[in-house]
Amino acid sequence: MFSKTLLSFIKNDKPFYPIISDTQESNTTIINLDCSMGSNLDWKVEETDKVILWNLDFDFQNLKFPLEHKLQFESLKLAVETFTKTIYPKYKEQTLGVSFYQGSVDVFSQFENNPDIFVDYLRLFFSSLEDQVMPFLVFDAEELSDPVKFCRTFRKERFEYFSLVFKNHPLKTLFTFTDQHQVSSIGYIGSNISKTYSTPALGLVFPPENKIDDTVVHSLQQAFDYLSDKPFRLVYETHLIEEIDCLDTLITLENGLSVMGKRQIQGFLAAGGQVIDSKELKVFSG
């Protein structure tokens, strides 16, 4: 069975780095299962010796009824139950996890342009999965080219129950595995795969939503410009304590920290870490 730590997936007590690609280096494949209202749920799966990330395709963009329609929801949930009973037992040892969505961030428009509603709806399917199965979401984030908007949309506290996979996203981050244009140590999706599994020692602390104003947004944009060619880890302040392992230096925004965040930063300093305020980046870079 697969599990996950902060820095990698784990299989048989060893790190596993998913490589989803059409190249020979690929060790993981995404298999789509039609779970839409029009599907008879009688899936035919082509055998593979690769690790599998199952994508349950509910075709959210073409739902005929509102989200609160009970019969529609129960019909979609039946697809998850059918997968759990008929497909998962046979491929249990090959299964990295199950994705409840693969596609554009446009899907949020079906959920009142509110990612929280989207996530809450998907979580209703969890009870139909085996407890040990990791849930995923796979996004093409090309439309979110602004790194600040990207980070606000995919806040850790919003998606903490999911492992996220991105294509075309604007950051070099560790909380996802990513396409060939960025650096990540948790896995890859795309072509021209680079097998560099180094763990960044530099982190950027992203402020809680209630601390973000125009001044903070401007400071964040400057920080992302500085980091544009540097491997780093994005650390949300709301999850700072559990996500600073293996980090030596944190970049912070003094006016973007909560009282609790400041206390946690002081603890990081006391433990021997280095903290650089975003205003000092030019000095820090030498």
**pLDDT tens by residue, 73-99:** 999 999 999 999 999 999 999 999 999
Domain total of the chain: 2
Main-chain phi, psi angles of 181, to 5 degrees: -85, -10
CB 11 within 8 A of CB 37: no
Residues 6+ positions from 264 with CB-CB distance below 8 Å: 237, 240, 241
Domain boundary among 166, 189, 212: 189
The helix (run of H) or strand (run of E) holding residue 115 is helix 115-123
φ, ψ of residue 52 in degrees (nearest 5): -115, 130
Residues 187-239 have pLDDT tens digits of 877 766 665 556 789 999 999 999 999 999 999 999 999 998 888 899 999 99
Residue 134 in this model has a pLDDT that exceeds 70: yes
Whether 184 and 273 map to the same domain: the answer is no
Predicted local confidence at residue 256, as pLDDT: 94
Are 10 and 97 within 8 A, CB to CB?
A: no
pLDDT score of 285 more than 70:
no
Angstrom distance (rounded) from CA 56 to CA 206:
32
- Tell me the CATH number at 82: 3.20.20
Q: Are residues 105 and 174 in the same domain?
A: yes
Query: Mean pLDDT throughout 133-141?
Result: 94
* 286 pLDDT above the threshold of 50: no
Rounded to 5 degrees, φ, ψ at 144 are -105, 65
Average pLDDT score, the chain: 90
Residue-range definition of the domain harbouring residue 133:
2-189
Whether residue 59 has pLDDT greater than 50:
yes
Distance from C-alpha of 31 to C-alpha of 195, rounded to nearest angstrom = 23
